[in-house]
Structure 1
């Protein structure tokens, strides 16, 4: 029984550690395993991770699981000014 408890604790530490690496140090916001872990977490943890990823990577396409949060919404584009006909 102790072995099973230790294995579960080890898995939690490994998965949590990789998620922390993905959020705070990964060079790729679309890291396959980081995205997979992040998608399975509760809403508040995903929102925190997505906010940190947005701070670190700026204007990129949202990684899977982050597109639903406001910070990843596309910025509104101002319409081009209407051209004024030149006076003759």
Structure 2
């Protein structure tokens, strides 16, 4: 039985120098992957986050949303990938 859960949402994109970059956001209490994605996207749009990304747009980034689960004995693990509505579960780097 799962006692606690939250979402880990990752945005994967290329830097201006061509490096693969991943930014992850922890989203508590989202009912599904799409809600978690929207909450993470809202955080990613803040001015401080945009500054960290050197202005790169996360709107065009590949998105991965996974539920993070904690079982009754306190072991944490990631659930299988869930695509956002209308988007494939694409990851540009090894998970």
- TM surpasses 0.5: no
Q: TM-score range by the shorter chain?
A: under 0.3
Q: TM-score, normalised by structure 2?
A: 0.24
Q: Which is richer in strand?
A: 2
Q: Which is richer in helix?
A: 1
RCO comparison, higher one (Cα < 8 Å, 6+): 2
